Amino acid sequence: MVQQSIQTNELRNQLLHSYETTRKMTNKLVEPLETEDFTIQSIPDVSPPKWHMAHTTWFFETFILKEYCESYRSFHEEFDYLFNSYYESVGSFFQRHSRGLLSRPSIEKVRSYRKNIDEEITRLIKETDEKKLFKISGLIEIGLNHEQQHQELLMTDIKYNFSINPLKPVYRELEMNSDAKASPLEWVSFEGGLVETGIDDEDGFSFDNERPVHKVWLDSFELATRTVTNGEYLAFIEDGGYQRAEFWLSDGWSTVKNQKWESPLHWENKDGEWYNFTLHGLGPINKEEPVTHISYYEAEAYASWVGKRLPTEAEWEVAVRDQPIEGNFVEDGVYHPVASIKNDEGQLQKAYGDVWEWTKSPYMAYPGNKPLDGALGEYNAKFMSNQMILRGGSCVTSQSHIRPSYRNFFGPDKRWQFTGIRLAGDVE
**Position 2 pLDDT exceeds 50:** no
Q: How many other C-beta atoms are found inside a 10 Å radius of the C-beta of residue 269?
A: 12
* Cα–Cα distance measured from residue 84 to residue 56, given in angstroms and rounded to the nearest whole number: 9
Cα 409 from chain centre: 9
Per-residue pLDDT band for 254 (boundaries 50, 70, 90) equals: very high
Q: Is 342 helix (H, G, I), strand (E, B) or coil?
A: coil
pLDDT digits (tens, 9 = 90+) for 381-416: 888 999 999 999 999 999 999 999 999 999 999 999
* Cα–Cα distance measured from residue 362 to residue 365, given in angstroms and rounded to the nearest whole number: 10
Closest CA relative to residue 393, chosen from 139, 156, 158: 156
Mean model confidence pLDDT for the chain: 94
For every residue of 169-236, DSSP letters joined together read --SS-----TT--PPPP-EEEE--EEEEES--GGGS---GGG-S-EEEEE--EEEESSPPBHHHHHHH
pLDDT digits (tens, 9 = 90+) for 303-336: 999 999 999 999 999 999 989 999 999 999 999 9
Per-residue pLDDT band for 50 (boundaries 50, 70, 90) equals: very high
Specify whether the CB–CB gap between 83 and 51 falls below 8 A: yes
* Cα–Cα distance measured from residue 172 to residue 248, given in angstroms and rounded to the nearest whole number: 36
2-163 and 187-426 in the same fold: no
Could you state, in order of their start, the residue ranges of all structural domains in the chain?
A: 2-163, 187-426
**Position 176 pLDDT exceeds 90:** no
| The CATH number of the domain covering residues in 2-163 | 1.20.120.450
Closest CA relative to residue 221, chosen from 301, 296, 316, 306: 316
Predicted pLDDT at 112: 98
Query: Within 13 Å of residue 285, how many CA atoms lie on the same side as its CB?
Result: 23
Single-letter amino acid, residue 32: P
Predicted pLDDT at 5: 66
Predicted pLDDT at 293: 98
Q: What is the pLDDT averaged over residues 129-137? A: 93
Predicted pLDDT at 343: 67
Beta bridge partners, 223, equal: 188, 424
CATH 3.90.1580.10 holds for 187-426: yes
Closest CA relative to residue 297, chosen from 241, 337, 338: 241
Q: How many other C-beta atoms are found inside a 10 Å radius of the C-beta of residue 203?
A: 13
* Cα–Cα distance measured from residue 364 to residue 387, given in angstroms and rounded to the nearest whole number: 9
Helices (H) and strands (E) in the chain, counts: 10, 12
Beta bridge partners, 238, equal: none
Q: What is the pLDDT averaged over residues 123-140? A: 94
- φ, ψ for residue 21 (rounded to 5)? -65, -45
pLDDT digits (tens, 9 = 90+) for 134-164: 999 999 999 999 999 999 999 999 999 999 9
**Position 242 pLDDT exceeds 50:** yes
Per-residue pLDDT band for 241 (boundaries 50, 70, 90) equals: very high
pLDDT digits (tens, 9 = 90+) for 285-307: 999 999 999 999 999 999 999 99
pTM of this structure: 0.95
In the sheet with 267-270, reading across from the earlier edge strand, the strands are 267-270, 273-278, 281-284
**Position 345 pLDDT exceeds 70:** no
Task: List Cβ neighbours of 99 (8 Å cut-off, separation of 6 or more).
Answer: 41, 47, 48, 51
**Position 117 pLDDT exceeds 80:** yes
Q: Before 105, cis peptide (omega within 30)?
A: yes
Give the CA diameter of the chain: 74
Closest CA relative to residue 222, chosen from 101, 147, 303: 303
70 or 414, which is more confident: 414
**Position 346 pLDDT exceeds 70:** no
